Structures are given as C-alpha cells and as structure tokens.
Amino acid sequence: MRAMRQLAYGAPLVLEHVPEPVPGPGEVVVTVTRAAVNPLDVWISRGSVAAAGPLPRTGGGEGAGVTADGRRVAFRGAGLGVTRDGAYAERVAVPAAALADIPDGVSDAQAAGVGIAGVTALDVVELSGITPGSTVLVLGASGGVGSYALQLARARGARTIAQTSDASRVASLTQHADRVVVSVGDDLEEAVNHAGEQAVDVVLDGLGGAFGGPAVRLLRAGGVMVVYGASAGPSFTVTATEFYRKMARVVGYGGLGSNPAELSAKSATLLAEIASGRVAPRIAAELPLVAVNDAHLRIVERRAGGKLLLVP
C-alpha cells in the first residue's frame, strides 16, 4: 500500500510502497478515507518533538476511515505518527480504544480532524470556565483549533471575538463571532479596543509570542487565559503587576498525555456537536496524499486558513 514516510528528520516525507499494517492485540486496521494535517505533524517532521520514535515512520496523527467490519470511524492518539506508523497511508493499524464512531449525517471529511483540533478546542473551552455572557477572545480563530473553539464558546452562550492576522479571513469568521479583529500581535489591545471591547473574560491562545503580553493585559479582573500553543513564538512577557493586581489566571494545556479511550470519548462528543449542526469544521482544502509536504508548507506559511485533509 502507499504511505507518506518520514525517512529523516528535517527532510520532506517520501511516497513509499510498504507492507499492509499488521494489527497487534486489541487493534484494528482502518482503511483511511481522510487524514487530517496538524501543526504537530510539522514539528514532528522537523524532529522537534522529543517523544517522537525512531525512523522511518509513516506520518499523520489522526484521520477518518472504515474498518473491515464496516464501521465508519475517526481516530487519534496512541502514538500514531509519533511513535508508530500514522494516518498518511491507505491503511493504518489503530488500537480499538482510539476509535470513535462517526454518526450518520457527518462526512468522513468533517470527522477526520475532530481528534486533535476538535478535542483540543473542547478541552480548552472547558478549562477556561466559559459561562453564558462571558466575553471570549479566540486567537488564531481561522485555525483548526481556533475555529472549533470559537463555535464551542458561542454554543455555550459566550460573546466571541475572533482574531486573525489576515484581513481576507474577516468575512468567513464573522458568521461565528460577534467581533473580528485583525492583529499581528503587538497591536492586539488597540485592535480589540477599536472593535469596541475594553476587556475580556477569557482568552484562548494558541499563538503566544507577540500576542501573549497584550492578551494578558486585555483580561478583566479575575480573567482566564488558556495557553495551548505557540505558533507565533515560544515566549511572552507580562509584568507582575499586570498579572496579580487583577488576579488573572494563565493556564497551560497540553493534550498529548490523554489516553486513547478518553480521547475517543471526547471525539464522540465533538462528532455529536457536528451532527447536531451546532459546530461545523472549517475545512480549507482536500489534497491528494502525495501533497502532504505542500500541506505542511501551507501551515508554516499561514496559507491554510482552516483544516487541511489528505485523501489517500
């Protein structure tokens, strides 16, 4: 079967013809119909994820497909694409505990990205303690996680402010946000204030870098910022007074440690939200499997504008 393989870190993935996957105890083989591409795949491909196992290895941490007995499933976790062969292939062996059934009315394309982006959004929204009426600033709102987070926050009754650095994305974000701001980081407070908001209750931050300090300053007394990524840079600075006087909380989230059964239960929650129409995945493009390196580049160059999917 065909698979996109990492032969060396820092090098493009390569199309190879490899033997069919052999399921271990408690595992099933899934015929992949869509593999979802995530920034994590890019970091793994560069060799910058400490937990990544030996090479060569098929990439891809999640996807959707069908089992031999006809179950339509989404899958994520259990080391797929990190410590074992992943989803960038025609077929993949997956622990049965990592499968979530795709409900009727939800397409494989809609389901393929729920495991990482969707579950992360679900978790950070929960962690932030959003309540009806909360004002929530979602950074990187056009992205895989941000686009889900924006919709989940709104579904919980929040007033939502979506940030993008790309003015061409404003119109598409408006349907899920009360306000959309264009900001490249340092100008975040000005952009939010200009949109008529002086402060927010919650920030969901997958960007860090130049966004982190201004985002903390935008929190109102008792506000919460959940930091789950660092797409715009690995560090940011806040002064002690900016932080403690308003009793702000800055909380980190890293989802890599969750076990497969927990992840698949959360994926099922997300899939039910999609089936109900309350949440819609933001799918930017569906590309052939061999275009994975182009997909990685689109993420790095911020040209994705939503979830990228591969069709084996």
Residue numbers of the site for ligand NAP (CB under 6 A)? 38-40, 116-117, 120, 140, 142-146, 164-166, 169, 206-207, 228-232, 253-256, 299, 302, 304
Q: What is the DSSP letter of 290?
A: G
Q: What is the DSSP letter of 206?
A: S
Closest CA to 149 of 184, 175, 124: 124
CB of 298 to ligand NAP, least distance (A): 9
Angle at CA of residue 140, ends 286 and 228, nearest 5°:
105
CB of 303 to ligand NAP, least distance (A): 8
**Ramachandran area for residue 129 (φ above 0: left; ψ -120 to 50: alpha; else beta):** left
Contacts with 224 (C-beta within 8 Å, 6 or more apart), sequence order: 128, 129, 201, 202, 203, 248, 249, 250, 251
CB 292 within 8 A of CB 310: yes
**Of all residues in this chain, which one has the CB nearest to ligand NAP in the complex?**
143
Closest CA to 139 of 181, 195, 167, 175: 181
CB of 68 to ligand NAP, least distance (A): 30
Q: What is the DSSP letter of 21?
A: P
CB of 230 to ligand NAP, least distance (A): 6
Q: Nearer Cβ to ligand NAP, position 102 or 116?
A: 116
How far is 65 from 72, CA to CA, in rounded Å? 6
CB of 116 to ligand NAP, least distance (A): 5
Q: Nearer Cβ to ligand NAP, position 65 or 143?
A: 143
Q: Nearer Cβ to ligand NAP, position 28 or 151?
A: 151
Q: Nearer Cβ to ligand NAP, position 210 or 311?
A: 210
Amino acid at 240: A
Is beta strand 307-311 parallel, antiparallel or unpaired with respect to 27-37? antiparallel
Cis omega (within 30 of 0) on the bond before 56?
yes
CB of 49 to ligand NAP, least distance (A): 10
How far is 43 from 54, CA to CA, in rounded Å? 15
Q: Nearer Cβ to ligand NAP, position 104 or 301?
A: 301
Q: Nearer Cβ to ligand NAP, position 112 or 117?
A: 117
Is beta strand 62-67 parallel, antiparallel or unpaired with respect to 27-37? antiparallel
Amino acid at 61: G
Q: Nearer Cβ to ligand NAP, position 223 or 306?
A: 306
Q: Nearer Cβ to ligand NAP, position 130 or 227?
A: 227
CB of 296 to ligand NAP, least distance (A): 10
CB of 266 to ligand NAP, least distance (A): 12
Closest CA to 201 of 142, 128, 114, 283: 128
Here the tokens at position 299 are 């993420």
